[in-house]
Structure 1
């Protein structure tokens, strides 16, 4: 829990001026949604294997990564386009 609070403060609360309780709750919901626990593992659940990393330079060049801004650009979601 302490790690989550530290991450939330560093990635969200230190970069955003919170106006009231409603705004705080909205910001926390957005932060919680944007920091999916399995996102870093490429959506792999703890009991599933993690996909092999892409090491071939030809495949790395062709990656199409999309960024979605959240909370006015304070938070960002990245995903690989199909």
Structure 2
């Protein structure tokens, strides 16, 4: 149980994307959404599951 709480705490405090200050919008416009599912294959994003797949971390491959 303590392992799960520590893992969630580390994920919540360091790995998840945080909201902006005072919930303000980003300074730049958001990119347009990708409409074609096949167009995402070039992004090379890796997913790491934590806590048996309950939490997910996503990173661009180096």
**For 1:1-82, what aligned pairs fall within 5 Å after superposition?**
24-36=1-13, 39-41=16-18, 53-55=30-32, 61=40, 62-82=42-62
Q: Which runs of 5+ in 1 are unaligned?
A: 1-23
Stretches (4+) displaced over 6 A = none
Query: Normalising by structure 1, what TM-score?
Result: 0.42
| Cα displacement (A) at 1:37 | 5.6
- Go from structure 1 to structure 2 and tell me whether the alpha carbon gap of 1:39 and 1:70 turns closer, same or farther (over 3 Å shift): closer
Q: Which runs of 5+ in 2 are unaligned?
A: none
| Cα displacement (A) at 1:68 | 0.5
Count residues with an aligned counterpart: 54
Q: CA-atom RMSD, angstroms?
A: 3.3
Query: Normalising by structure 2, what TM-score?
Result: 0.51
Query: Which one scores higher on RCO, CA 8 angstroms, separation ≥ 6?
Result: 2
